[in-house]
Each structure stands twice: as structure tokens, then as C-alpha cells.
Structure 1
Amino acid sequence: MGIAIPFDNSYARLPKDFHAHVPPKPVAAPRTVKVNRDLAAELGIDAAALESSEGAGVLSGAAAAPGSEPIALVYAGHQFGQFVPRLGDGRALLLGEVVDRSGTRRDIQLKGSGITPYSRQGDGLAALGPVLREYLVSEAMHALGVPTTRSLAIVTTGESVYRETELPRAVLTRVAASHIRVGTFQYFAARDDMDSLRALADHAIARHQPDAVSEPDRYRRFLEGVARRQADLIARWMLLGFVHGVMNTDNMAVSGETIDYGPCAFLDAYDPATVFSSIDRGGRYAYGNQPAIGQWNLARLAECLLPLLSDKEAEAMEQATGALSLYADAFNTAYQAGFLDKIGLSGGGEEDKAVAEDLLRRMQANGADFTATFRALSMVADGGDTSTVSSGFRDPAVFDEWAETWRQRWASGRASPAERADAMRRVNPAFVPRNQRVEEVIAAAVGNDDFAPFEAFLSVLTQPYADQPDAARWADPGPAAPYRTFCGT
């Protein structure tokens, strides 16, 4: 059949210090177990070719597709606040780039394809479980309307990896607007390599802010663009109860996409201090800390760009400070407006904000489920029984008391109850990748080679705002229990 992928590899044309070429490596028995046919069509790639034996070879990293130039990208990063001067793709290969049917340039990367020069004593491999998690959650995030990397395919290799126990090995094919990270800029800034830093910035601007390419203040515009994109992204995370889990600077993409779904999870009971990641022992990346960490990461990018912003230190600092202020303003605006949409109050006045904050306080004190509370609230807005929400509170009267104030605020709006409820359903999903359900489908695939639960859950998650009565079990968080996630390396 032949694999025809229309590669045009701009990052591979950057200087050799930006990456390392990595040849294909044989695997025992590559088998394609999932291809995202809709995404393949967007990219102009024949899905049937990816599902073939030849496709399995390419997607496992065992064979090179015509036009691909497999490279591992180098970068640095702050990991839990500690700077590491050289990290890089320790288990990933950028096969190349394609310009999709909408004219957007996108990376095609393999994750778990083997050792690279940046593997740092790791084996460069991935177990099937984390690969399934990233596929499921990234595609769910896309359906939820969150900027994100996408998942194109999963291939098993017929081999094992060892993560405390023996597990089946797999490779994920990931698609991204780019894999340029804050840590990529940190790598060259830490080496005082201004030529490479400028080349990287110019490449990133051409790719993500092409309207600024010829502008004399393009580096300021770029920093401000990253600030806006990150503010919007993290506001969307917060509005959905998403906890990334490992917001290191090497996991912050300048494209504004969510990247790297290792220890991520969604809130069950609302609590800003929620941490799921087993390696986040100090709670640095707790749910409620994510907005501030986004600004901290942006400050690290600003430090890197200071020499490009201006040769006058005071002027460069002023521009960097302005971008950081822009991030805070943009996040607060997006989050506050989004939260008022979630509760059907669009006025935006201080009284409405106080109502919203009061609901969160009551939810936290009463162990109310984040996703279920807001989805049920949309039914109450259309005349439904308040018990659909209050039953999720330890003390139902706490919600009923709040609901009285909430209804009083409706009087200032013009929307009918049905219009308000419909608008609320469009921003409050019925389905997210519930932690226990994710584990359930992973266990079936890893333990029994049964991908039917994975496919069923994925199908539900592609329509997260639809009611889907027959799929109610996937909305059930399961019994309350401590939950921990792992990075999967």
C-alpha cells in the first residue's frame, strides 16, 4: 500500500545543536491497535495505510517513512523548581512536520520509541497503560474545546518494559502545533548562545505568530502572545477541574497547547489543594496553584528573551513585566467570565462574582463533585429538582441556601430558563475522563488485551457535552478513594 505522509520538516533544518538525528530501531512484532481516522484525514494521511503492517513499522519507530527525518529535540527546564540545564526528548522522536488541510503546520512525533542521546539513563520506552491514558485524555481535551496535542495512533511492539513489574510496550504517535517549550529557550539562554536563541525565537514566531515576523518588536509580541495563550489555556483547565500534575517549564509549550499527560487527572471532590501526582510531594502543582505556576513559567521565558527584547536592560525589563501583567489580567478575565457562564450568570458584576465564589466555598466544605455539580446545576436552571445537586453535598441544606441567592440573581438577566440551561450545558460537560474509569479501561487493555472498554469510553468522551443517557456509568466517579497518578517513564 505504501505510506505517503506529506512531510516538510522545518525544525530539522535548524542548526545541529537543536536536535540529534536518531535512526530507526527494530521491534519484535509491531501491531497497530488504534488509529485516529478523523485526525489522519485532517493531516492528509491515509488511515488505512497507517493501519497496515507497513504503517505499524513506521509508527513503532522500526521503519522510516519516506520524507521523515527522525530527530530528538534538546531542551532544558525547571523540574519542580530546580533547573536542569539539559533534558531533551529522552523517549520521543519527531518524525517530521506536515501542513494539514487547513494550512496549519503540525508535528508528528513518536513517544516511547527508544533511547536517544537525551535519555539520561532511561530506557526510552513506554508501557501501554500511559500510552492509552495520553490518547484518551488528549482526545477528550480536544472534544472539550481545550487547546491540546492530539493522538494519532497506538502501536504495540510485542515486547515488554519493566516498571516495577513486566508490562506490554507501546508507542504513541502524537500530533502538536509544535514541540517548542519554555525549556527549549532555557537551553540556549543558559549557554549564552544568542545566535541559537534568536534563531529559535524567529522560528517560533514564524510558526505561531506569523503576523509579527517582519515587525521590529516581534520578540515583545511573541512573549505577549505566549502570555495570552497560556492564560487562556490554564483558565480552561481550571474551568474543567483539570490538574496537569507536572507543570515544569519543559512541559509548557509556547504554542499554548496542553502537552504531556503523564500524572494528569480531573477533580472529583472540589478542593484547590488537590494533588494527584505521586512525585509532587510538596503540592507545587496542585489544582489551585496552576494559574500562579503558569505565570512563574512565563517569567522564566521572559528571562530568556531579555537580550532580544532590548539592548537596554531597563527597557527589556519593562517589556517583560508588561507581558507578565498581561498574563494575570488575561487569566482573571477568562476565568471569571467562564465561571459565571458555568453558573448561568452573565452579568459579571461583583455580586455575581461573590455568588460564584460562595458556591466554590460550599462545594469544598461539603465534598461536592466538581463536574457533577455544575452539570446538574444546568438542569436545575431549567426547573429541575434541586436535589439533583444538593444530594452531592454532605449537608444538602448548604446548597439549597446558596440556590436561593442564585435564583435571585437570575432576575437581572434576560435569558429564559431554557436558554440559560442550554447555555450552561454547553460549558459544563456531562463526561470527563473520570480517574477510576480511565484506570478501568487501561486495566482491561493491559491485563486482557481487551480494547473494547477503551473504545467505548473514547466514543463517549468525543461528545462530552451531550447527555448520552445510555452512557451514564462513564459519568460515575466510582467509590471515593485516594487516587495517585504516575509519569509513566
Structure 2
Amino acid sequence: MQIQFDNSYATLPDRFFARVAPTPVAAPRLIKINRALAEQLRLDADWLASPEGVAFLAGQSVPDGADPIATAYAGHQFGHFVPQLGDGRAILLGEVVDRDGQRRDLQLKGAGPTPFSRRGDGRAALGPVLREYIVSEAMAALGVPTTRALAAVLTGDRVQRETMLPGAVLTRVAASHIRIGTFQFFAAREDTDALRHLVDHVIARHYPDAATDPHPARALLARVIARQAALVARWMHIGFIHGVMNTDNMSIAGETIDYGPCAFMDAYNPATVFSSIDQNGRYAYANQPGIALWNLTRLAECLLQLFDPDQPTAIEIAKEILSEFSPAFDAAYTAGMRAKLGLAGHDGDDDLVGEFLQLLAEHEVDFTLAFRRLCDAAEGDAGELRALFTEPAGLDAWLGKWQSRRSGDGAALRKVNPAFIPRNHRIEAAIVAATQGDFAPFETLGTVLARPYDDQPEFAAYAEPPQPEQRVLQTFCGT
């Protein structure tokens, strides 16, 4: 098969990346092909599933037209700046243009060491590969901007983590892999020429309307802010916790990227943290909007010299643009919460939303299940919603106010309140089974999550929160 690569990032100056080929593996074996995504990318899914295609997906062979590179970037990790990070276990094969005319990166995660590996093995274990496949595809089905998973393959090798684990490679698809950390890499080196190249490239690729603005760098920051505000609001609507919102994990394209210790809330608690490496709750659920703004401020710092040659003036310009984040986030968050509650949009809606969330927190009610059962309450049956509360008197009082304000019916609410999310205990069960050679739970979970807003009564158990003994309290980074 001929893959029609149309690479642009690899034409940038050499200091943007290192050219490196994937490392061959022992015995590649296919786990899963995302056939719908392959079709969208103009790729032949049958060929991808063939021995030649699996060799390509494992990094055994590099097809004509590919230009494999590991990209350079820096980043703030838990608030501490690291001037050089880069793709330590991922290799960007190239770019294709999909059926909608959109440019997409094809990247192999777990393809072997690169010059940015920092003494790592450059490999990926099966568990993190399956987690990213499951969650990224679930996010796409939920309507959240995200990187995608094209394929997962076993390598036939073992990788050393806490124990020896099966190795795997994920083929990730993204609008691009450019991060805030990419800008930080060049800003830290005072490489203004590279920053200009990067600004021009990002504008051409993601924000072409900014090219005609009298101040393109300022316009770029404003557009990135708008996308990130909308993205984080969507996370909040579905109880998603990224887990490691470092600046190198924040996509300039406004997609959710890097599904490491991510998780979805079960019982509603704004302070929820799952990541084993987030000891102080920096990236807790409720902190995500503030962290997004903190990260965007780091991006603004990188661009100051392109805003205005006078630094005090540039700083004031940056502050003014950054001030757009909070109103944009608040508007997106409020609109989404109104939709989840079926509210038309009136004064006092924020109070009604806040009261419902407070009730969920006080009674430790499952976030996703509560909103889904609210759909039934909109049709006159609040019994299952009330059953979630140990003492429903407070809910009853709230329901009275809500019913007098509600405009959306149950059908409308079901379009925005999912029945199914990638529940942590289901992901862990699928991973454990897969490491023992049983991929049936992984396949079933993918089937369920492909239709998150449908009732799917045959899979009703997948909508239920975990039993106490099934709860996942910590998630882990895949490196």
C-alpha cells in the first residue's frame, strides 16, 4: 500500500527535531485496528491488518514517503521547568491529509529510544497502550476534541517497569503534536528565529485566519486560549481528570493529549485526584481550569518578544489577551451545565447547578449516573435518582426548583449526559485480562464506549459505578 504522506513539520529547521528510525521488535502481532478512523485517513484497514501493515504499525518497516522524527520540546512538570524533554518514546512517521482535508500526524508511541529518551528504553507497556486506546476513542465518541488511536500492536518483547510486562506500540493520530512545551524549548534558548518559524507553522496549520491579523502572534495566543477554555470545560462536564497537565502535555491544537494517569470521577468530589505522581493535588479535577490558565501564561511568556519589542508593553498585551480565558471558560462551562440540566438560560442557573453539585458531593453520589438519571426525572420518574441519595430530602427540594425552571425533555438531556464513560475499574479489568492474553474485555469495552449516549440495555452493568472492592484509587504514568 502507498500511504500518501504530506509532511510539513519535518521541513522546519533541523533543531526542531531529531531524525530517528523506529527500533525493530521481536514479533509484532495485531491487537486492534480502528477501521473507521483508517477510512477517514484514506488508509486501507485490510492492509493495516496484514503482516506488512502490522510491521509498519510496529515500526518494523518505514513506508515510502514517511520521514520519521522525534520532536523537541521543553516543559513545566508539576510547576518545575525542564529545558529539554522531547519525544522520548514516540516517533512521528509523517502527516496525511484526511477525507475532510485536515492534516493529521501519524505517530508511533513505544517505538524505541530517541535522542530525547533521557536514559529511558523508549518502549511502551501493554497496559498504558490499551488505556490510551480506550480513553482517547471514548473521548472522541463523547464529542471531546482529542488525539485518536489508529491501532495497537504487541511487540513480542518484554519491557521492564515495576515488573516485566508485555510490550506494545500505539499508533496515535493528532491534528499535530505541537505543545506549549515546543514554544518553551525555543524560548529557553532565546531562539527568536525558531519561535517565528513555529508561530508561522502553527498559524498555517491550525489557525489560518490569524495569518491576516495585523499581529499574528497575538492572534495565535487568543485562539489557543479560546480552544483550551472550551476543551477544559468539556472535561469538567464529563468528570474527566487529565492527571498530568504539564505544559508539555497541552496541545496547541486544542486536543486532549497524553492519556497517562488520566481517570474519570466516580463519586463527585471537586478535589478528586487519581494520579500516583500528583502528591499535592496540583491537577485535581477542580484545579484544571486554573492550571490551564497557568500553562497558557507560560505560552504567553514565550511570545512576548513577538508581541512588542518593548517588554513592559508586551507584558500588558499578554495580560489583556490572557484575561480572555476566564470569561471564555465560564461561558463554555455554564452553557454545558445548562444543557446537562435542561435549562434555557436565565439568571440563577449557576446557583441551581451549584446546588445540585453540592448535593452530589455531600452524599458522595456518582457524577455520571446522577446526571443520566436526571434524564428520567425530566420524564416524571425521579425514583432511581432519589435512590442514589442516602437522604433524598435535599434532592426533593432541589427537584422542585429544577422542574419549575427546566425546559429540556429527557430525550434532549440524554444527548448530553452519557450513560457510559471509561470507568476506571473497567479499564483496569480489561488491562489485567489482556496481559493474560484475553482481549475480549478490551473489545467489549470499546463496543460499549463507541455509543456513550445510547442506553444499550444489554450492557447496563457497564453504566454502574464500582463496588467498594472494585474502586481504583490511583492511576499511573506509562513511562
Q: Report the TM-score when normalising by structure 1.
A: 0.96
Letter in 1 for 2:276: S
| C-alpha deviation, 1:260, in angstroms | 0.4
Q: Does 1:440 align with 2:436?
A: no
User: Equivalent residue for 2:100?
Assistant: 102
Superposition map of 1:309-348 within 5 A: 309-348=307-346
| C-alpha deviation, 1:457, in angstroms | 1.0
Distance 1:176 1:90 in 2: 17
User: Equivalent residue for 1:145?
Assistant: 143
Letter in 2 for 1:83: F
| C-alpha deviation, 1:237, in angstroms | 0.1
User: Equivalent residue for 1:132?
Assistant: 130
Q: Does 1:208 align with 2:206?
A: yes
Choose which of 379, 390, 400 in structure 2 pairs with 1:382.
379
Residues 210-253 of structure 1 show CA distances to partners (whole Å, capped at 9, x for unaligned) of 12224331111100000000000000000000000000000000
Q: Does 1:299 align with 2:292?
A: no
CA contact (8 A) 1:111 1:172 kept: yes
Distance 1:451 1:482 in 2: 20
Letter in 1 for 2:476: F
| C-alpha deviation, 1:482, in angstroms | 5.0
Letter in 1 for 2:30: T
SS at the partner of 2:157? strand
User: Equivalent residue for 1:355?
Assistant: 352
| C-alpha deviation, 1:319, in angstroms | 2.3
Distance 1:186 1:25 in 2: 28
| C-alpha deviation, 1:302, in angstroms | 0.3
Distance 1:337 1:29 in 2: 50
User: Equivalent residue for 2:233?
Assistant: 235
Gaps of 5+ in 1: none
Distance 2:297 2:372 in 1: 36
SS at the partner of 1:118? coil
Percent same amino acid among aligned pairs?
58
Distance 1:80 1:166 in 2: 28
Q: Does 1:184 align with 2:182?
A: yes
Letter in 2 for 1:257: E
Residues 396-432 of structure 1 show CA distances to partners (whole Å, capped at 9, x for unaligned) of 222222212212223xxxx4xxx52111111100000
Choose which of 257, 260, 267 in structure 2 pairs with 1:259.
257
Distance 1:72 1:169 in 2: 20
User: Equivalent residue for 2:419?
Assistant: 430
Distance 2:242 2:390 in 1: 28
Superposition map of 1:401-480 within 5 A: 401-410=397-406, 415=407, 420-447=409-436, 449-480=437-468
Distance 1:65 1:30 in 2: 16
CA contact (8 A) 2:186 2:195 kept: yes
Distance 2:280 2:463 in 1: 30
Q: Report the TM-score when normalising by structure 2.
A: 0.98
CA contact (8 A) 1:4 1:46 kept: no
SS at the partner of 1:9? coil
SS at the partner of 1:129? helix
CA contact (8 A) 2:373 2:385 kept: yes
CA contact (8 A) 1:341 1:427 kept: yes
Distance 1:263 1:139 in 2: 16
Distance 2:159 2:391 in 1: 47
Call closer, same or farther: CA 1:164–1:227 in 2, change over 3 Å: same
Distance 1:461 1:270 in 2: 21
User: Equivalent residue for 2:112?
Assistant: 114
| C-alpha deviation, 1:172, in angstroms | 0.1
CA contact (8 A) 1:75 1:86 kept: yes
Distance 1:185 1:309 in 2: 14
Distance 1:223 1:422 in 2: 38
SS at the partner of 1:213? helix
Distance 1:24 1:475 in 2: 39
Distance 1:88 1:381 in 2: 49
Distance 2:242 2:385 in 1: 27
Distance 1:291 1:436 in 2: 26
CA contact (8 A) 2:113 2:122 kept: yes
User: Equivalent residue for 1:39?
Assistant: 37
Letter in 1 for 2:417: N
CA contact (8 A) 2:425 2:472 kept: no
Give the alignment's Cα RMSD to 1 decimal.
Answer: 1.1
Residues 118-145 of structure 1 show CA distances to partners (whole Å, capped at 9, x for unaligned) of 0011111101111001000000000000
Letter in 2 for 1:99: V
User: Equivalent residue for 2:473?
Assistant: 483
Q: Does 1:368 align with 2:368?
A: no
Distance 1:169 1:289 in 2: 34
Answer with 321-330 or 147-156: which moved more. 321-330
| C-alpha deviation, 1:308, in angstroms | 0.7
Letter in 1 for 2:355: D
SS at the partner of 2:234? helix
Choose which of 158, 171, 175 in structure 1 pairs with 2:169.
171
Gaps of 5+ in 2: none
Distance 1:335 1:65 in 2: 44
Choose which of 7, 17, 24 in structure 2 pairs with 1:9.
7
CA contact (8 A) 1:337 1:346 kept: no
User: Equivalent residue for 1:392?
Assistant: 388
SS at the partner of 2:165? strand
Choose which of 271, 277, 283 in structure 1 pairs with 2:281.
283
Superposition map of 1:9-28 within 5 A: 9-28=7-26
Distance 1:40 1:4 in 2: 14
CA contact (8 A) 1:139 1:150 kept: yes
Distance 2:367 2:23 in 1: 45
Answer with 390-399 or 114-123: which moved more. 390-399
Distance 1:393 1:294 in 2: 33
Letter in 1 for 2:396: D
Distance 2:85 2:311 in 1: 29
| C-alpha deviation, 1:455, in angstroms | 1.1
Superposition map of 1:85-100 within 5 A: 85-100=83-98
Residues 246-269 of structure 1 show CA distances to partners (whole Å, capped at 9, x for unaligned) of 000000001000000010000000
Letter in 1 for 2:352: V
